[in-house]
A and B are shown apart, each in its own frame.
Chain A
Amino acid sequence: MTASLLSTSRLYRTVLSNGLTLIGLENPAADIIAARLFIGTGQILETPETHGLVSFLMALLTKGTTTLSALAIADRVESVGASLGTDAAPDYSVISLKTVSADFEEIFTLATQLLRYPSFPEAEIDLERRLALQYLRSLQEQPFTVAFNHLRQQLYGDHPYALSGQGSETSLGALTQADLMAFHRQQFGPDNLVVTIVGRIPPEQAVDLVERTLGDWPGTNQPRPQPTLPSLTPRANCRVIPQNTHQAIVMVGYTAASIQAPGFAALKLLNTYLGSGLSSRLFVELREKRGLAYDVSALYPTRLGASQFITYMGTAPENTAIALAGLRAEVERLSHSLLSEAELQAAKNKLLGQYALGKQTNAQLAQILGWYEILGLGVEFDQRFPAQVAAVTALDAQLIAQQYLREPSITLLGPEAAVTPVGEAEGADREFA
């Protein structure tokens, strides 16, 4: 449907002498410019001791620079009605901004100062720590989040993807200003940075702005520490979290292919087939035909390391056993029988159509362009991915299902009388929440 990004003549890519990569797309359709500054460092670098460091650091970038206070930063952004935020993802971190065209240069320049000259003021560290600890506690209020945090631990063990990214009480309590400064010095630099700019701005103007604001940032020329990731040996397991909720949460997860692994496109396709939209297999079989759930779906996030393939639903507590059996049967079916040509084609159309629909706004485009680049795949991946998906055969899909969807991690959260017997039948180790 939507033409690939690469085929548009307005796309440009340039690497500055200090190693910074700029990717831009001139899009005059609306009076809006969106930009992203991607740093190639994420939660994947964290250990249980430093858990939450990246997320904490990114939040603090907007809380003070060597020349601006937290309040001055907020005031500059909000007085022109711009949006500016930071985020720490598992594989990268990012500063995002969006303005009407006239305000772009001012706010982009501010973002580059946040990136280069954070001061991590002690008072702001204390406030942010307090807010982060409260947020950590508030996550316990959402049954789905509680179950998902358990499932992640079951799947990943010692791997950094086991961690939520939000930190723990212990790790957040121990973080110091010196830790933040050291991590910033080590990880933040032009050779670990991808900038994307999309909107009503001519390429020469965007390049000039980036040169002026980031071109004099010297590269470190020091190798950055790479994460040492433990290998994962999937083993079926089950965990029960007794909680007096109105609904039981049932989750079935598997560790799955990274974005670079050969099974990536096939697993995206299988995940779409199972869990995407009102015509997906899980929705039709478990909700439409059996009325077992309101929310039933699947997810398979794009990851640089071993990803996760998860199906889940919320159901009346007395339905826990049949809900679990239903989810497992649908996943296991993918290994036992071939998808029909019609099912395969329908899933391809759906996946590629939704991929195209994810590129409607300047902010969405800025995200996709920089994301592939920072993951080391290059913007060309935007073209390669649809081709990979189109090439998947029913047999490929079945073989990939057999390879990855073998040893389920099961998480059951709900009233004890409903979930414990089901968990015990699966050999659950019990958790007392």
Chain B
Amino acid sequence: MGTDYASDYHVLRLDNGLTLVHHELAATPVVVADVWIRAGAGMEPLEWTGMAHFLEHMIFKGTPTLAPGIFDHLVETQGGMTNAATSHDYVHFFITIAADRLAHALPHLADLLLHAVIPADEFDRERLVVLEEIRQAEDDPDWLGFQAMAEQVYQDHPYGRSVLGAAATLESRSPAEMRCFHQAHYQPENMTVVITGGISLEQTVEIVSQSFQDFPDPCPCPAPPTPLIPTIQGVRREQLTLPYLEQSRLSMAWLGPGIDNLKDGYGLDLISALLGQGRSSRLVRELREERQLVQDVTAGFSLQRDCSLFTIQAWLDRQQVDRVEAIICDRLSQLAAQPIPRHHLNRAKRLLSNDYTFSIEAPAPLAGLYGYYSTIARPEQCFTYIPTIQQYDETTLRQLASRYLTPLHYVSTIVHPS
């Protein structure tokens, strides 16, 4: 068992290969257990699209010794909360509960994760629930716009496919296939258990090592296609129309680096704050407050394992779309070409550094941060975020802008009211 210390934070590798991250927050009476697994939609063979998310639902449907619903009832009637989420790079399951109840709740979560039975009747019924989730998403114009953009940006890479899958594909799946996917991927070497809050390291190690035992034997499972890292050549523009829309959406997207180049990724995060986070950011100030061309505009950077995504999105009247897109392109050229005033750079740094500080005040987001980094990189890499951000100077940032955010190569997805 190896130990790596950094203040109140510990990362351990258990004998079976499971990663355990612990961070004690002595002041809180609450504990969060957050289990992260490299078993997201990126692990699906093409014809199994939607399997990882559907499995996340089915995990809650019991084990040989735990009937469906017992775990939820147990956690919630002890005053706790539990839920789960699936993305392309991960799936994770979490509990928030009073510190002294963790020893009662965690063994059951581990049992569900390791020994899910995936009963056939529950499989058929839960599929109806997933189909409802898809229908609900299809009534959300922003979700539809995002999916259309992701498809264009990522093409054949799994990031281009909806995590929810499609009705037709889900209808063709069987409980046996799902068991296979589960046993292949829910293995200790793919798993990080994060425990944060009012609990000691010693207790944590004891509870976690006793809970996460007897992993199933891994079985062969169809592999996902080798992901092709996409590139964007030229400007790809797509327009779609939707009923019941009151205004148009413009989404512009650029590809960023993968997790192997965190420094560039954090730099792009800084640029997103500079351009489009807060009323005094460049695009919000110009497009919304001064020229009043948009209802809202925002820039965002989303870190992903294979390749990240930089987006600028605007909500606006149909007749302003072309003009706003042209202005944004122009501002990106300017960003690369003209010195960034110190005040702009410092503002963006303060914004991101404080957001980071605010986001780890409570144990749940702190656990999420460790789990995410542990799943796509290494948990301790999250500690490099603030120092890396602080070190950026304006020249390096402008080089990043001209390298990644060129107005010559990007994807533009426009949604209009029909």
Do the two shown chains form a genuine complex with each other? yes
Inter-chain contacts of B77 with A (CB < 8 A):
279, 345-346, 349-350
B164 → chain A closest CB, angstroms: 10
**A291-B129 contact, Cβ under 8 Å, with A138-B247, A350-B77:** yes
Contact A244 B30, beta carbon cutoff 8 Å: no
Flag whether A137 is at the interface (Cβ < 8 A).
yes
Q: Once bound together, how far apart are the Cα atoms of A284 and B147, in whole Å?
A: 31
User: Chain A contact residues: over half helix, strand or loop, or mixed?
Assistant: mixed
Q: How far is the CA of A141 from the CA of B226 in the complex (A)?
A: 39
Structural contact, A2 and B29, CB atoms closer than 8 A = yes
Give the chain A neighbours of B281 by CB distance below 8 A.
78
> Are the CB atoms of A81 and B81 closer together than 8 Å?
no
Interface 1/0s, chain A 317-347, versus B by CB < 8 A?
A: 0000000000000000000000000000110
Contact flags A65-104 to B (C-beta < 8 A → 1, else 0): 0000011001100111111000000000000001110000
Minimal Cβ-Cβ distance residue in B for A30: B361
For chain A, the bracket of interface size reads: 35 or more
| Cβ A246 vs Cβ B139 within 8 A | yes
Chain B residue nearest to A289 (CB atoms) is B125
The CA of A378 and the CA of B68, in the complex, are separated in Å by 43
- Report Cα–Cα, A349/B285, bound state, in Å: 48
User: What is the distance, in angstroms, from A352's C-beta to the closest C-beta of chain B?
Assistant: 6
Q: Which residue of A lies closest to B96 (CB)?
A: A357
Please judge, given known A-B contacts A71-B285, A134-B247, whether A294 and B28 are in contact too, CB under 8 Å. no
Q: Please, which residue of chain A has its CB at the minimum distance from the CB of B363?
A: A360
Docked Cα-Cα span, A62 to B67, in Å, equals: 54
A229 touches B (CB below 8 Å): no
Q: State the CA gap A99–B355 with chains docked (Å).
A: 10
- B355→A81 contact, CB < 8 A: yes
Q: Report whether B126 and A291 are in contact in the complex, using a CB–CB cutoff of 8 Å.
A: yes
Give the total number of A-B pairs whose CB atoms are below 8 A apart: 177
Question: Which of B69, B279, B364 is within 8 Å of A284, CB to CB?
Answer: B69
Q: CB < 8 Å: which of B29, B79, B132 contacts A349?
A: B79
In the bound complex, do residue B246 and residue A138 qualify as a contact, i.e. CB atoms below 8 Å apart? Answer: yes
> Complex: how many Å from CA A99 to CA B350?
11
Contact A288 B68, CB 8 Å, known A32-B361, A295-B136: yes
- Contacting residue for A279 out of B72, B133, B246, B289, CB 8 A: B72
Interface residues on B, range: 35 or more
Closest Cβ–Cβ distance, residue B122 to chain A (whole Å): 9
Residue A388, interface by CB 8 Å: no
By a CB distance below 8 angstroms, the chain A residues around B245 are: 141
Docked pose: A138 CA to B363 CA in angstroms = 35
Beta-carbon contact of A278 and B76 below 8 Å: yes
In the complex, are the beta carbons of B247 and A1 less than 8 A apart? no
Assess the A79–B76 pair: CB atoms within 8 A.
no
Task: Tell me, yes or no, whether A380 is within 8 Å of chain B by CB.
Answer: no
CA distance A361 to B281 in the complex (A): 27
- Contact mask for chain B residues 123-138; partner A; CB cutoff 8 A; 1 contact, 0 none: 0011111111101101
A345 to B77, CA, bound (A): 8
* Cβ contacts under 8 Å, A3 to chain B: 29
Contact partners of B350 in chain A: CB under 8 A: 78-81
Closest to B346 in A: A79
For A277, list chain B residues within 8 Å (CB): 72, 76, 81
Residue A187, interface by CB 8 Å = no
B391 near A: Cβ within 8 Å?
A: no
Mark contacts of B309-347 with chain A using CB atoms, 8 A cut-off: 1 yes-contact digit, 0 otherwise.
000000100000000000000000000000000010011
**Closest residue of A by beta carbon distance from B244:** A141
Q: Are B79 and A354 in contact (CB under 8 A)?
A: yes
11 contacts between A and B (CB under 8 A): A70-B289, A71-B279, A74-B278, A79-B280, A81-B347, A81-B350, A100-B354, A278-B60, A288-B69, A294-B130, A360-B363
Report which B residues bind A (CB closer than 8 A).
25, 27-30, 60, 68-69, 72-73, 76-83, 96, 98, 125-133, 135-136, 138-141, 243-247, 278-281, 285, 288-289, 292, 295, 315, 343, 346-347, 349-355, 357-358, 361-364
12 more contacts with CB within 8 A, not counting A80-B350, A293-B129, A354-B79, are A71-B280, A138-B246, A138-B247, A138-B295, A142-B140, A244-B243, A277-B72, A291-B126, A345-B77, A353-B79, A353-B80, A357-B80
